[in-house]
Structure 1
Amino acid sequence: MEIRKVQITGGSSYIVSLPKQWIKSANIQKNDPVGLIVQPDGSLLITPKIDGEAVRRTRVFEVGATTDRTYLLRLLVGAYITGFTAIRIESKGRLPPFVLQLVREFTQMAIGQEVVGETDSSITIKDLLNPAEMPFENTIKRMHVLARGMQQDAVAAVRGRDAALARSVIDRDTEVDRLHWLVARQDNLILTDTTLSRRMGIPVNQAAYYFQVSRIIERIADHATRVAYNALILIEFDPDPETLDLIDAASTLSLEIFTWSMEAFHTGDLKKANATLQKVRDLEERTREINTRALQSEAVAAIPVGQIADSIRRIGEYSGDICENVINHIVGQEA
């Protein structure tokens, strides 16, 4: 940190000299305007960008015939989430055929990504989505609706021994992942581009809060998917009606806790968040009943039933985590 003294000129103007190295790196010339943004903590941000134009960053990956497909996909997802506005894949020779297919899969998975240039040895993906047009709250509301519906259908698949419904739940998990990646990307963009924070009207700490909740919902959807996988296993067996009733009741309570936690999140209701946390204990008792009942069955059926009970419990616990985040965030704001 450089320390500079405030000076007075003209009897009423306060001035601070700017670091020469920063002036050169930003290519600022005499009489060029700079933007001054007062931050929530009282600090002052000085930026050469006054037109609100988004920061443009490009990430280049080199590939070859021996490049691992899964590794390349992880790199693409990482570049997307960390906020690169363009991704270019290059090869010294002709691009391997699997790369073209992988890129198309990636653009279907990641929101706003499109192929804008392609040659025999390179392919360029560009972000065409304006992040300011995708409010965090709308995305998280959509994630909540999807995750809740997935869990409802997963339990219905268990009772109805419905393989098609279970596979539908598994397929929908990708949509929740896509939305979570978008929230993660926007959070990273706000960290690297303060003008975006201003355009979206979202402080940096608020974006991090949204990301934390988004991550929890994504994990809830993962557990709904886990229930669906176990529903496929249980198709070969016939759980007794009482066990199915216990699963239904526990899942209903877990989803009520999930819904209450999201209501507390959207309204900032501290009392509701605290009351919802108390309900998690009731859910734990109900899932223990399922496990006790499952132990009376053969191991091949008891194991998937136990895993379903565990996922239902985890959905409630993750919902409790949302409530804890709400309490922490709201209390921090009040300070």
Structure 2
Amino acid sequence: MEIRKVQITGGSSYIVSLPKQWIRSANIQKNDPVGLVVQPDGSLLITPKISGESAHRTRVFEVGAATDRTYLLRLLVGAYIAGFTTIRLESKGRMPPFILQLVREFTQMAIGQEVVGETNTSITIKDLLNPTEMPFENTIKRMHLLARGMQQDAMAAIRGQDTALAGDVVVRDTEVDRLHWLVARQDNLIANDATLARRMGIPATRAAYCFQVSRIIERIADHATRVAHNALLLIDRDIEAATLDLMDESSALALQIFSWSMEAFHTGDVEKANTTLQRVRDLEEMARDINTRVLRFDAVTAIPTGQIADSIRRIGEYSGDICESVINYTVGQTA
């Protein structure tokens, strides 16, 4: 940190000289304007970005016939989440067909990504989404509703032995993933551009908090997907009615805890978050009861049933993590 003294000029104006190294790196010339942004913690941000537009960043990947498909997809997702506005794939020869197919899959998964240029040796993907049009709160509400519906349908598939419904739950997990990627991307954009935080009306600390909650919801959806996969293993398997009832009851409690935790998140209600945390213990007791019951089942039935009980418990515990985040964040914001 450089320490510089505040001086007074003209009897009323306070001035501070700017570091020469920063001036040169930002290519600021005499009489160029700079923006001043007061931060929530009272600090002052000086930025050469005064147009209100985010900086355009490009990431280039060299690809070819030997490129690993899974690795490339991870690179594309990583570049998207990192906040690059343009992603370009370049090949020394003709672009392999599997790369073209992978790009199509990526643009369907990642919100706002579109192919804007294509030749025999290159593909250009551009972000067409305005971050300010997708508020964090709305995205997280959508994720909550999707994850909740997935778990409800996964449990319905168990009781109804509905293969199609269980399969649909698995497919819907992709929608939750793409919304989580969007939240992660916006969090990174705000971390790299304080003016974007101002335009979106959300402090960087709040964006990081939303990302943390989004990540937990994505994991809850993963467990709903796990329940659906295990539901498929229980097709044509007989489970006693009392155990099914207990599984439904525990899932309903887990989802109630999930909903209460999200209410606490949206309202910043610390007391509700604390009360909700106490209900997680009740859910854990119900999950142990199910695991005790499945000891009487044959292995083919017991294993997926036990895994379902474990996922239901984890949904409740992850919801408890949301409550803890609410308490930590809200208390930290209270002066």
Is the shorter-chain TM-score for this pair beyond 0.5, marking a shared fold?
yes
Equivalent-residue separation in structure 1 for 2:4 and 2:269 (angstroms):
44
Matched, 1:175 2:175: yes
Equivalent-residue separation in structure 1 for 2:120 and 2:23 (angstroms):
41
Equivalent-residue separation in structure 2 for 1:303 and 1:24 (angstroms):
64
Equivalent-residue separation in structure 1 for 2:243 and 2:161 (angstroms):
14
Equivalent-residue separation in structure 2 for 1:282 and 1:147 (angstroms):
21
Name the counterpart of 2:29.
29
Equivalent-residue separation in structure 1 for 2:113 and 2:304 (angstroms):
38
For residues 98-137 of structure 1, give each alpha carbon's deviation from its aligned partner in whole angstroms, at most 9, with x where no partner exists. Answer: 1000000000000000000000000000000000110000
Name the counterpart of 2:151.
151
Name the counterpart of 2:310.
310
Name the counterpart of 1:247.
247
Name the counterpart of 1:120.
120
Secondary structure at 1:271 match in 2 = helix
Matches within 5 A, 1:214-233: 214-233=214-233
Gapped regions of structure 2 (runs ≥ 5): none
Name the counterpart of 1:162.
162
Q: Which moved more, 1:56-65 or 1:17-26?
A: 17-26
Equivalent-residue separation in structure 2 for 1:278 and 1:42 (angstroms):
37
Name the counterpart of 2:68.
68
Equivalent-residue separation in structure 2 for 1:192 and 1:107 (angstroms):
24
Q: Which runs of 4+ in 1 moved over 2 A?
A: none
Gapped regions of structure 1 (runs ≥ 5): none
Equivalent-residue separation in structure 1 for 2:231 and 2:237 (angstroms):
10
Equivalent-residue separation in structure 2 for 1:21 and 1:209 (angstroms):
34
For residues 205-256 of structure 1, give each alpha carbon's deviation from its aligned partner in whole angstroms, at most 9, with x where no partner exists. Answer: 0000000000000000000000000000000311111111110000000000
Secondary structure at 2:14 match in 1 = strand
Q: Which moved more, 1:7-16 or 1:284-293?
A: 7-16
Q: CA-atom RMSD, angstroms?
A: 0.7
Q: Which TM-score applies when normalising by structure 2?
A: 0.99
Name the counterpart of 2:330.
330
Q: What letter corresponds to residue 151 of structure 1 in structure 2?
A: Q
Equivalent-residue separation in structure 2 for 1:332 and 1:192 (angstroms):
23
Name the counterpart of 2:289.
289
Q: What letter corresponds to residue 126 of structure 1 in structure 2?
A: K
Secondary structure at 1:196 match in 2 = helix
Q: Kindly state the Cα deviation for residue 139 of structure 1 after the two structures are TM-superposed.
A: 0.2
Q: What letter corresponds to residue 317 of structure 2 in structure 1?
A: E
Equivalent-residue separation in structure 2 for 1:313 and 1:292 (angstroms):
14
Secondary structure at 1:171 match in 2 = helix
Equivalent-residue separation in structure 1 for 2:264 and 2:21 (angstroms):
47
Name the counterpart of 1:140.
140
Q: What letter corresponds to residue 256 of structure 1 in structure 2?
A: Q
Q: What letter corresponds to residue 227 of structure 1 in structure 2?
A: V
Secondary structure at 2:296 match in 1 = coil
Q: What letter corresponds to residue 213 of structure 2 in structure 1?
A: V
Q: Which TM-score applies when normalising by structure 1?
A: 0.99
For residues 67-109 of structure 1, give each alpha carbon's deviation from its aligned partner in whole angstroms, at most 9, with x where no partner exists. Answer: 0000000000000001000000001111111100000000000
Report how many residues are paired. 335
Q: Kindly state the Cα deviation for residue 33 of structure 1 after the two structures are TM-superposed.
A: 1.1
Equivalent-residue separation in structure 2 for 1:93 and 1:318 (angstroms):
48
Equivalent-residue separation in structure 2 for 1:41 and 1:323 (angstroms):
25
Q: What letter corresponds to residue 148 of structure 1 in structure 2?
A: R
